[in-house]
Structure 1
Amino acid sequence: MRASNRPGVELSSAPGGGNRRRVGARQRSGSNRRREARYGWMFAAPFAVLFALVFLVPILVSIKEAFFAQVPAGTDLYGGGELVDTFVGFDNIAAVATSSAFWTGMGRVVLYALFQIPIMIGVALALALLLDSVVIRRVGFFRLSYFLPYAIPGIIAAMMWLYLYTPELSPFMDYLPAGTDFMAPGTILASMANMTTWTYTGYNMLVFLAALQAIPQELYEAARVDGASGWQVATRIKIPMLRGAATLTVLLSIIGTIQLFNEPSVMETANPWMGKDFTPMMMAYNSMMGTVTPSGSGPASAISLMMALIAAVLAAIYVLVQRVGSRR
């Protein structure tokens, strides 16, 4: 085939040359994609290994342990001998499912969640809206100040609040009405809720603030052109667009509340009437340590699995209710 005399136009001198170039380009493109995929897996490998070691493997081990119990190896009247792991099937899970102590503790944390989570999420949302407004200057200072309690280890924060709640030690109990007792059976859940709210409000505030800063500014400008006030912008634009962030914070709060441990464990040291099974997480830990019966890794793992199942059910119910509400 004769080459064209027009500049910038070249014709192949051999039949099928264009097809060969396209095939070669596809092969090079496929090779590049495979190479990029290998690089991606190489970068993701450290995370995948650590995720498997610290998350997946413990879950699998816990599931396995839930079907075993430690029983004496001896055969005499009083057992005797070393403790050995024995397969007991669903006995551990059935014992947890029929345990009044477990369900009483679960009732406490559900009641705790019903009033603590709305208050914490509401305060976090209000703080985020305030920091995202034009009213506050030096946003970085307030953002760090609100987040600072979350940086304090949970057990240290619980010990600090126990000090503030103890009448003989607290610096402000003398200024409260006579008879105020933050560790009475009727108020101790509210006292622990105050600890959790103080610790995690700043964290949830950052989640809301990040979602607010992702909202396009054009929406605000259009609303102001239409004459919307600051309150209308907040209630009709900002809050409705925080639905995803609210779902995340509430789900994390539900899971965290089911695992409530630091606050009641510290409070129990000064209030023995609470018992070692005040919450399901305390019950699981003390079962593992042998301070409550049944004890051992098997019963403790069974409690953990029941807690995970209940947390999943509560989270699913919340998501379902939210979806139904958003469709209306």
Structure 2
Amino acid sequence: MTATTRSAPGEESPDGPRTATAAPPRRRSRARSRALVPWGFVGPFLALFTLCFVLPILYAVYQSFIQIRRYGLFGEEGRETVFAGLDNYTRALGQETFVDSIGRVLLFGAVQVPVMLGLALVLALLLESASARWPGFFRALYFMPYGVPGVVASLLWGFLYVPGLSPILDVAGLVGLEPDLLGPSGVLWSIANIITWMFIGYNMLILVAQLKTIPGELYESARIDGAGPLQTAWNIQLPLIRPALVLTTIFSIIGTLQLFAEPQILAAFTVNIDSAYTPNMAAYNSAFTDNDYNVAAAQSVVVALTAFVLSFGFLWLVNRKDRRR
């Protein structure tokens, strides 16, 4: 009777190298379960994102390429869905009011976005300066307007723009000024004032969060080198919070093209805001006043593409400057 020898795992047997044994089934099932844990957290978000965001966009794109033809005076003889190609887009861009609304919000964004982000940047730098007192209180105070719903804010500011009710106009009259805040040339900038008032605090918090990631050693080195507050802000803070500035700019560009609630509410205070004052209002009017859902879908897609082009165009310019550096 011959004796058999056992070698330890990983050692070579007298007959040659021994292959590693496979992992037990229980260990493999545990590894699979651990791999599925992240998907359990992300899954609900992906499901809601697909249901509430992706599918509506795809459905709007589908609606923009079809037309519903009705037969009979009131469609009593039936209807059919036909492929319309780019006909809905041609009709949408053929509406002068819709094209004017796009130009109007682009002018709005070219002025309002730099002003709003500039003020948000100044507030963020002041709150994060070494001499700032009660920064938490002032952060909450500046952020408070963002908590006011856009409809409520528009109503409040609407009454402040009406002559006879507005203390702003009363004070301006005392110094000989008579601004027409709801006139044809002033109503757009009255809307810009509402948006700026609401979103300065929101953008300020994003910038403050980025400023807090700057190591304190950099500030200490700047003080040792004799840098003042302006030099510290220009040479240290602004370069390091550039990602936050890019992010807030993109958010503001997209928000500008989505302008809807504020002019819709102010339309009750003035005749200088029509039903197609902004692109979203024009699409809303096409869908629910003219009952032309396909043209409204085409207008929505045009607005989305405009936001996409502007946002990625801005990113391309920023990345191009980084590559040059």
Distance change >3 Å, CA 220–CA 79, structure 1 → 2: same
AA matched with 1:285: Y
CA distance in 1, matches of 2:318, 2:308: 15
Report if the CA contact (8 A) 2:146-2:199 is conserved: yes
2:151 alignment partner in structure 1:
155
2:180 alignment partner in structure 1:
181
CA distance in 2, matches of 1:270, 1:234: 43
1:204 alignment partner in structure 2:
203
2:121 alignment partner in structure 1:
125
1:106 lines up with 2:102 in the alignment: yes
1:53 is matched with which residue: 51, 54, 76? 51
**Residues 67-146 of structure 1: pairs in structure 2 closer than 5 A:** 67-74=65-72, 78=73, 80-81=75-76, 84=79, 86-87=81-82, 88-146=84-142
Q: Deviations over 1:124-167 (max 9, x none)?
A: 01111111112222221111111111111111111111011011
1:322 alignment partner in structure 2:
318
Distance change >3 Å, CA 83–CA 96, structure 1 → 2: farther
1:232 alignment partner in structure 2:
231
CA distance in 2, matches of 1:176, 1:83: 62
Displacement of 1:193: 0.6
Size of the aligned set, in residue pairs, is 315
C-alpha RMSD of matched pairs (Å): 2.7
Distance change >3 Å, CA 19–CA 252, structure 1 → 2: same
Q: Deviations over 1:227-270 (max 9, x none)?
A: 22222111100001111111110101001101111121112122
Report if the CA contact (8 A) 1:68-1:85 is conserved: no
Q: Secondary structure at the match of 2:67?
A: strand
Displacement of 1:302: 0.7
Q: Deviations over 1:81-114 (max 9, x none)?
A: 3884632232111111232211110010000001
AA matched with 1:86: T
CA distance in 2, matches of 1:114, 1:229: 32
Q: Secondary structure at the match of 2:296?
A: helix
Q: Secondary structure at the match of 2:272?
A: helix
Report if the CA contact (8 A) 2:12-2:18 is conserved: no
**Residues 162-311 of structure 1: pairs in structure 2 closer than 5 A:** 162-177=158-173, 178-290=177-289, 293=290, 295-311=291-307
Q: Secondary structure at the match of 1:239?
A: helix
Distance change >3 Å, CA 13–CA 254, structure 1 → 2: closer
CA distance in 2, matches of 1:285, 1:84: 24
CA distance in 2, matches of 1:321, 1:275: 35
Displacement of 1:32: 5.1
Percent identity between the aligned chains?
39
Gaps of 5+ in 2: none
AA matched with 1:184: G
Displacement of 1:180: 1.6
1:35 is matched with which residue: 26, 33, 36? 33
Gaps of 5+ in 1: 4-8
Structure 1 length as normaliser, TM-score?
0.87
AA matched with 1:283: A
